Structure formats: C-alpha cells, structure tokens
Amino acid sequence: MPVPSLTDPPSTSTPAAAPAKPQGQPSQKSMTKAERRELQEKQRAAKAALKTQQPQGGGGGGGQPKAPKNPAAPPKKSQSAETSKQGASAGKDAITTADDTTGGNAVSRSLRIFSHFGLPKQVSHVKGDIHPAIIRLGLLFSEFKICGANARCIATLTAFKSVIQDYTTPPNHTLSRHLMTHLSPQITHLVSARPMSVTMGNAIRQLKLEISGSDIDMVEQDAKDALCLKIDNYIRDRIIYADEVIQDLAGSKIKDGDVILTFARSSVVEKILLNAYGKGKKFSIIVVDSPPLLEGKALLNKLTSGPNPIPCTYALLPALPSLITEVTTVLLGAHALFSNGAVYSRAGTALVAMMAKGHGVPVMVCCETYKFSEGVMVDGFGKNESAPMKVTKSTGRPEAVSPSQTLEILNPLYDLTPATFITAVVTEVGLIPPSSISSIPLALGKTIL
C-alpha cells in the first residue's frame, strides 16, 4: 500500500505543519481510497502553504534553527495505526499553534532583538581535513575548559604550531601560498566551536602576514621552523613579556593599605596581585563575581592558596554598592580594547567601572596591546555571545528554571565599558588614558598589529 507521506520529505517545523493534520482521523486501513486521496491532497496543500509562509517569517527565524533538526511529528507517525495517540498529539500541536498566533508577535519580536546572540552550536561533525590538535582545542573551547582571551590565543597558536609542523606542501604549490588555504578550515572549525576572540583574530592576521611573507626558496622544514619560531616570539613578546611589564606598572600603583577591587577573573590581574603581594605590599582584595560563569572563585582560590594568603573579601555583583566605598583602586581585565577607548570585557565589568566612577575610585584596565582592535564599538549589545547552558554554574535555592514558550534564558558573556568610566589603561607601553588608545597601534608601527 503506498503510504502518501512517507514519500514526501519530512515537514520542517512542528507548529506550522500541525494544522494540516486532521484531528481524530480514522486509521489508514479503515479509510476508503477516496478519503486517503483527500488526506494526501490536504497535506500537500499544507506543505505548499508552509513554503510560502517561510520566507516571510525569515526575520524571526533567529531562534528557530534547532526546530528543523527535531524530527518532530514525522509524517510516519500520523500514519500509524494508533489513532487515539495520534489524535492527542495533533490536538496538542494545534494548541501550541494557537499560542503562536496569539503571543507570536511579542515572541518573534524578542527573538529578532536577541537573534544575533546565537547560541554556540554543537561542534558539528568534523568536515574535511582537520588536525587532531584543532579538534581537541575546539572541544576545549566549546566546553569552556579553555576560557579567557590570553589562554585562548596561546592555545590556538600552539595548536597551529603542530598543524604547521605536520603540514606538507602538496606538489606544484608553494608553502607561502598554500599553507593558508590549509589553515582556514582549521580556523573555521575553531570558530564553529566558539566565536573567535579578538585576540585570536589579531594573532591569526599576524600569522597570515608571516606566512605570505615567508621565503619561497627556503627549504620546507626550515620555513616551517621559522614560522613556529615567529609564533613563539609572538606569544613571548606580545603576551608573556607584556604581562610582566604590566605587572610592574600596575604593581607600582598599589600601595600599602590599599583595598583593590577586581571583577571575575583576569589572568593579568591575578598575576599583578600575586606579584605585588609577593613583593611585600600589604593590601587587601575584594573579588566581585557574578553568574553565569562565577570565575571569581577560581581567582579566589589562586589568591588564597599560597603559603601567604592575601586577605580577600568575596561578594556577588549586586553587593557592589555596599563595598565600593571602601575601595581605593579597581583593577579590571579586558577581552579587547577598541580604538574609541571602550573596553569589551566579561559581562558585569561595565557595572563595576560605572559604580567606581560614581564614587571617584580610579579604574585601571589591564590589557596587552595585542588585544587592541582597530574598530570602534559603542554598544555592548550589538556584538555579544551567549554562554551555553551547560557551562553556566547554576546555584541558589530556587532551582534554575527551564525555558518555555514565553520564557527564554539569556546569558550574555560580554559587555562594553564606555571610555568615560575608565581612568587609565595599563599596557606594556605604559599607562595611557582611554582617549589615546587609537594612537597606540600607530606608535607601535601599524604593521605589527
């Protein structure tokens, strides 16, 4: 017996397809041929209607990408003999559709506003020739096992080193031309695991420059070694040494008796604090933290785990107004710095800087120059990333709620601190006011950036 719907591809989304299903239809076997044909016609018509609908709804499609993946309500099911069960499910579908039409306006509107937050997809199965080191790194990124601008940049460059070492130029190609085409799928894979950080972007741009500039006549192994050396130098000069200089510069601003406030966890700030305390300065630290990642706990562990623990106070972000009065300096880390002086950093940083500014507490942002981005950013909303549910630390008595038709859970990872809230940016080239950020890349010789 030809079952009509089985020959058709499965319908795309559940709610839209639902109304087509006649409710409480009798099972196939009890139907006459004419009835069956009628049913088939109906389903065709519904499908056609769906196809015309879809382009219109495209604007609100941001939140729907997972819908098509669900093989929900496959037509197969509608043909099953279990009439009662099918009737019930069809009825349920009809209800959700009704909800869609009544509340649809608001929901789709919100979806559109937040659509660019795009949840990181599951690491799709590996396409093409991806190096195992990159696959491993992609998993670490998507699980947030490697997190933080510096850590991600160093990990990426290190992985690229092994990719380069394992690379052999195919015949009739030159390394300087072909290596980049070999690297780009690797980069694409990393980006699919988690959106690329500004630091990674800057480093990769630099790497591309080095590759295209490598000598054609060089022996392949020598060229690869030269590239790896360049990468090592980049990590050393722009990150490791830069951090050491920043430690000294920022450390010189910490005096005995100071109360330093910091937010979440920045690798540079952590080093500054440990270094300054190791030099015998007597100060205390307030670590302010916030969900979704609660990274401050890791910083707290580092600060207190040594033989000589630093006196620390720990509080969550809402408690900030009660603590800010006793603070002498605020030290913050950054994800990226834009040429208008705005600091793109972990969500909550802007609130901390704002409160500090309101109370006349100096705000120092510690940031290596390789984190500078040439662009301008005026709003932290436009470019953001949502933390996946599995990495958000769910705490508190009322258990974490689950999203529903009208409830969505959003965990933005970043926000943008306007330059007006920042007193100084501590870089390896000195302490500079945020208004002068744009001149730094030029002063460093733009080719490096």
Q: Please, what is the minimum distance in Å from the beta carbon of residue 263 to other proteins?
A: 9
Please name which of 268, 334, 270 lies closest in space to residue 301, comparing C-alpha atoms: 270
Q: Does 327 bind other proteins (CB under 8 A)?
A: no
Q: Calculate the alpha carbon distances from 369 to 10, 116, 228 in Å.
A: 52, 28, 21
Contacts of 104 (CB under 8 A, 6+ apart): none
What residues from 336 to 365 belong to the interface with other proteins (CB under 8 A)?
346-348, 350-351, 354-355, 358-359
Q: Does 415 bind other proteins (CB under 8 A)?
A: yes
Q: Which of 384, 419, 424, 434 binds other proteins (CB under 8 A)?
A: 384
Q: Does 406 bind other proteins (CB under 8 A)?
A: yes
Tokens of 185: 């799928």
Choose the binding region for other proteins from 51-59, 75-83, 127-135, 390-398 (rule: CB under 8 A).
390-398
Give the largest CA-CA distance in the chain. 91
Q: Does 396 bind other proteins (CB under 8 A)?
A: yes
Burial of residue 383 (number of CB atoms within 10 Å: 0-12, 13-18, 19+): middle
Q: What is the sign, positive or negative, of the torsion defined by CA atoms of 139, 141, 147, 148?
A: positive
What residues from 88 to 147 belong to the interface with other proteins (CB under 8 A)?
103, 105-107, 109-110, 113-114
Sheet holding 372-373, edge to edge: 372-373, 336-338, 343-346, 414-417
Q: Which of 407, 442, 445, 447 binds other proteins (CB under 8 A)?
A: 407
Q: Which of 416, 422, 426, 440 binds other proteins (CB under 8 A)?
A: 416
Extended strands (E) in 249-289: 259-263, 284-289
Contacts of 372 (CB under 8 A, 6+ apart): 202, 336, 337, 338, 339, 437, 440, 441, 449
Q: Does 59 bind other proteins (CB under 8 A)?
A: no
Q: Please, what is the minimum distance in Å from the beta carbon of residue 70 to other proteins?
A: 21
Q: Does 14 bind other proteins (CB under 8 A)?
A: no
Q: Does 410 bind other proteins (CB under 8 A)?
A: yes
Contact set with other proteins (CB under 8 A): 103, 105-107, 109-110, 113-114, 290-292, 297, 300-301, 304-305, 309, 311-325, 346-348, 350-351, 354-355, 358-359, 379-381, 384, 395-401, 404-412, 414-416
